[in-house]
Amino acid sequence: MNEQEQRWIQAARGGDEAAFGELVRLYQKRVYALAVRLCPTPELAEEAAQEAFLAAWQGLPFFRGDAAFSTWLYRLTSNACVDLLRKEQRHQGLSLDDETVTAEAADTAPTPEEAAEHRELRQQIEAGLKTLSPEHRAVLVLRELHQLSYDEIAESLELDLGTVKSRISRGRRQLREFLIKHGNFFDSAASKRTERGL
């Protein structure tokens, strides 16, 4: 956390809306990127991101700084996503199996064939993630896509370290089983290399 960010946090804790606006601008892409991985639609992800920032604004006077601001914000975002998913499931009878894959993969493969394979793998991973429970999906997304450490995930989600490790292990196993069962990309040699790298 740099000095400018600390000044914005201190000012925002005192009710400075402009300072909080700077924090929103600083973190909005990261918060939305997390939300879009945890929510089935961009609309829900946007709502979750807004809820997370609203919770941050309301909770800032009580933010003690024991954890990094970004870690606290990840926790609020994850909580907002899980709350919205549960609300959607209650009111609309949604199943995680019915969710549509909405996140788009960045395409960095050098050849069209590799690019197509990369997209297919990414789509299969996204499809697999949506079959996980919100709790397992949250830890896996924070670990694999946002590169948080086990300790940071435990802090972000207010979980015991052992619970984080257990959920990540179980989530990875369930995701791997889904990919083996549904992934037609395992037919090619290049894809088999990808499978071993999961």
pLDDT of residue 31: 92
Mean pLDDT rounded to a whole number for the chain: 76
Burial of 157 (0-12, 13-18, 19+ CB in 10 A): buried
Which residue's entry shows tokens 């670990």?
143
Rounded Cα–Cα distance for residues 73 and 56 (Å): 7
Q: What is the pLDDT of residues 129-143, one digit of tens each?
A: 778 888 888 888 888
Structure-block tokens of residue 117: 């394979």
Contacts of 11 (CB under 8 A, 6+ apart): 18, 19
6-15, 64-73, 176-185: the lowest-pLDDT one = 176-185
Q: What is the DSSP letter of 101?
A: P
Q: Is the pLDDT of residue 4 over 60?
A: yes
Model-level pTM greater than 0.85? no
